[in-house]
Amino acid sequence: MLSRQYPWSAIGRVQGFDRQGKGYHCTGTLISDDVVLTNAYCVINPETGQFSQRILFLPNVINGQVANRDDIAEVTQVVYGTDFSRGELDGQVNDWALLKLDRPIGLKYGYLGWKALPSSTLTRNQGKYVFVGYSGDFPNNNRKGYEFFTAGPGWTASMQNGCSIVREERGVLYHDCDTTGGSSGVRLLP
């Protein structure tokens, strides 16, 4: 995903640091001028229940670069759906987090907004979603055609066209998109 145009500009890399200072990343999407939607386990360790020490949002990162380094925003507040204390599947039902940013970068990059849709609407649109995420296994600059991605895996978003939400079970949506670590908080765009 190499476009800096909207709607792709509203998707970015959530860069977090745990209590020990170890870095990790996920994917997030601007849903208002200063709020990012991602997964709860991108801000809370599901095994320990500990919150991340520091979280940044890097909008529209391509090959490790944002359009303007001054647009890297610090997360000042987190609202989340679960702390993972009730078990694996139960925790996934509310695995969402809203990240309040220290500046309204959505005014520059755009934002997708927020709308609740019934599961039946989502599963009815088979093969019509686009998956975008900062996967930890993409890009691999050792592969032909990807040599110019020098920043390493997770520093450019991958994109899959034509995937589906295949079913809903006990409040959890299942999809057939190609994902791996780092693409959590991923966006499926119709």
Q: Is residue 26 part of a domain?
A: yes
Is the CB of residue 109 less than 8 Å from the CB of residue 30?
A: yes
Residue 1 falls inside a structural domain: no
The CATH code of the domain that includes 173 is 2.40.10.10
What pLDDT does residue 129 have? Answer: 87
Taking a C-beta distance cutoff of 8 angstroms, is the pair 12, 60 a contact? yes
Of residues 134, 123, 135, 132, the one with CA closest to residue 164: 123
Number of domains in the chain: 1
Does the pLDDT of residue 49 top 90, yes or no?
no
| 113-142: pLDDT as tens digits | 888 888 888 889 888 888 899 988 888 888
* Average confidence (pLDDT) over 29-58: 91
Domain that holds residue 169: 8-189
Question: Is residue 2, in this structure, part of any structural domain at all?
Answer: no
Q: What is the pLDDT of residue 188?
A: 43
Phi-psi region of 154 (alpha: psi -120 to 50; beta: other; left: phi over 0): left
182 pLDDT band, cuts 50/70/90, is: low
Mean pLDDT score of the chain = 87
Strand intervals (E) in the chain: 11-17, 23-32, 35-38, 54-59, 73-80, 97-101, 129-133, 158-163, 165-169, 172-175, 187-189
